[in-house]
Amino acid sequence: MSIPPSTPDKDASDTRQGDEEQQEQEDIYINPDDCIDLGEGVDDSAEVAADERAGVAADLLEAADEEEERDNCSITYPFTDAALCLAANPKDHTVVAVGLQNDTAELLRIRPGSVEPLRILRGHTDSVVSVAFSSDGELLATGSYDGTVKVWEVAKLMAETGDCSTPMLSLEGPGEGVEWVSWHPKGHAVCAGSQDGTAWMWWAGKSSGGGNVMQVFAGAHGAAVNCGSFSIDGKAVVTAGLDGVVAVWNPRTGATAASCRTNEEELQRSQRQRQQDGDVDMEEEVP
């Protein structure tokens, strides 16, 4: 009795199945020789190569150095008033800006075990509640409950000492206090949200036109816009308000690309709680 020859389709199917089974085995199993027992310490047996032991020792030393550095970072700095916000310069993480309740901001250099005061920034007339460095680290924006955003040139701040009360730009427009500031990820446009339910965007570069309003985002919020940011690609601005609304804006046109509202029942419960805590006027109507 003759055995019929296998067909090409069946051969290909068997080959694929074999390859898949082999790949599955490789995915599930590892070579035991690749393992090092670190349960109670480094395995000193002959099965562990000298370079592997050296690598483990280096990792342990690095971990010890990191732990010591963390211990050295446990420092205290006596601010003149309550600190409300902070930001590190993305190009030099030792330089930190802190916004204070006494209407000022402080520029500090923080290293393991030490804090060096650099400058005190004056000019706001109310608490500085938001600070942010531009993505290139060249500019610092400070936002305040006085309704303004001030822009400071970092290089000039670092080149001098003492108090500074002359920002590069003072950006105005919001009818009430500024809640937050955010820089465009690729340029010197800065956005800020206000207690009046709007958000503003200015050109804050050192070139001509610095300080000009680029866009006003209005109409989506019925209460303070208490948080927001540019998207990571800079093509959208996202804001959220105390009214429970989250809005996505087109920074070129100022139009809302999308918006949504939090659960109405939860929003009412939150507002009633805020009334009880004294954060909201008792005569304010809860929707």
* Alpha-carbon distances of 69 from 3, 76, 114, 277, rounded to whole Å: 76, 15, 12, 42
pTM above 0.85, yes or no: no
Q: Which of 277, 272, 214, 217 is nearest to 247 (CA)?
A: 217
| pLDDT tens per residue across all 287 residues of the chain | 554 555 555 566 666 666 655 554 444 333 444 333 333 444 445 455 566 666 766 776 776 666 655 555 566 788 888 999 999 999 999 999 999 999 999 999 998 888 999 999 999 999 999 999 999 999 999 999 999 999 999 999 999 988 999 999 999 999 999 999 999 999 999 999 999 999 999 999 888 788 999 999 999 999 999 999 999 999 999 999 999 899 999 999 999 998 888 766 666 777 777 788 776 443 444 34
Distance in angstroms (rounded) separating the CA atoms of residues 239 and 187 = 19
Q: One-letter amino acid identity for 198?
A: T
* pLDDT, position 166: 95
pLDDT in the model for residue 153: 97
Burial code of 191-226, b = ≥16 C-beta within 10 A, e = fewer? Answer: bbbbbbbbbbbbbbbeeeebeeebbebbebbebbbb
Phi/psi at 198 (5° precision): -120, 165
Quote the pLDDT of residue 155: 95
Asked if residue 171 lies in contact with residue 151, where contact means CB atoms within 8 angstroms, the answer is yes
The class level of CATH for 83-265 reads mainly beta
Q: What is the pLDDT of residue 77?
A: 81
With a CB cutoff of 8 Å and minimum separation 6, the contacts of 254 are 215, 216, 217, 218
pLDDT of residue 266: 67
Taking the CA atoms of the chain, what radius of gyration do you get in angstroms? 29
Instruction: Please check whether residue 140 is in contact with residue 97, taking contact to mean a CB–CB distance below 8 angstroms.
Output: yes
The whole-number pLDDT of residue 121 equals 97
What are the angstrom distances between the C-alpha of 25 and each of 17, 28, 29, 34? Answer: 12, 5, 6, 16
- Distance CA(246)–CA(261), nearest Å, equals 6
Tokens of 11: 């051969």
Rounded to 5°, angle at Cα 185 from 179 and 186? 135
